[in-house]
Amino acid sequence: KNAVISIEAEPYSLEITPSKCALLIIDMQRDFLEPGGFGEMLGNDVSQLRQSIEPNQKLLVAWREAGLQVLHTREGHRPDLADLPPAKKVRGHGAKTIGDTGPMGRILIRGEEGHDIIPELYPLPGEPVIDKPGKGAFFATDLHAILQNLGITQLIVTGVTTEVCVNTTVREANDRGYECLVPEDCVASYFPVFQEMGLKMIKAQGGIFGWVSHSSKIISALG
């Protein structure tokens, strides 16, 4: 776990120390990914996101088998909505917004069915689950403290959506000194053009805030 391994990536290979590297899975929640959830209710094509489930499962199994650290996040709010900025509540002028009753319980509210992680990637006991009110996983959460306490300096970031919560989190992590690698098959967007550009932005300019790779390269590097 302390031996450095090299993962083929763009713009160049990343050396990771597995014991210092965590798999951070962003917002693989039922309301974003499942047919009949909030995401689909907004008119989004959930099949775009569902393509990332199997690659995430394979990576998660390999990461767990190697005995490495896994963390999960969920986007959502307190049932009393006290942490929901009014500007976020009204955004989009939708008929239904955060806190209203949706197809899988109250939309993006902690404790509701739709807010929970999909069964395919369900956290094991002992894997921290970070409940975040924003798009970035560091804003108003204890993620940074947890990672520091675990001695983590590198992150494999996966999940949804590429251009929103994944991108925001990778930018936040990069500014806090973490090296971030994003496997392209384990992140997804409702919009193919955003998927492509969201990944390009990360690795442009010599890896301006991270590296882009593929789950197969990570799994083969783990041996």
Residues annotated as catalytic (active site), given as ranges: 27, 132, 165
d(CA 23, CA 102) in angstroms, rounded, equals 30
Pick the binder of ligand C5J from 121, 137, 143, 165 (CB under 6 A). 165
Q: Is 188 in the site for ligand C5J (CB under 6 A)?
A: no
Residue 160 engages ligand C5J in binding (rule: CB under 6 A): yes
Candidates 161, 169, 195, 215; binder of ligand C5J (CB under 6 A) is 161
CB-wise, 91 or 176, nearer to ligand C5J? 91
The whole-angstrom separation of Cα 44 and Cα 56 is 21
- Smallest gap, in angstroms, from Cβ of residue 61 to ligand C5J? 23
Phi, psi of 168 (to 5 degrees): -60, -45
Q: Which residue is nearest to ligand C5J (CB)?
A: 165
Q: How far is the CB of 187 from ligand C5J (least distance, A)?
A: 10
Residue 48 makes contact with ligand C5J by CB under 6 A: no
75 binds ligand C5J (CB under 6 A): yes
Q: Phi and psi (nearest 5°) for 219?
A: -65, -40
For ligand C5J, the closer of residues 27 and 112 by Cβ is 27
Q: Does 180 bind ligand C5J (CB under 6 A)?
A: no
- C-alpha pair distances (Å), 214 with each of 77, 113, 221: 32, 31, 11
| Two tokens, residue 57 | 């499962």
Please report the DSSP string for 116-168 in residue order. Answer: SBPGGGPPPTTS-EEEESSSSSSTTSSHHHHHHHHT--EEEEEEE-IIIIIHH
Q: Which residues of this chain interact with ligand C5J, rule CB under 6 A? A: 27, 32, 75, 160-161, 164-165
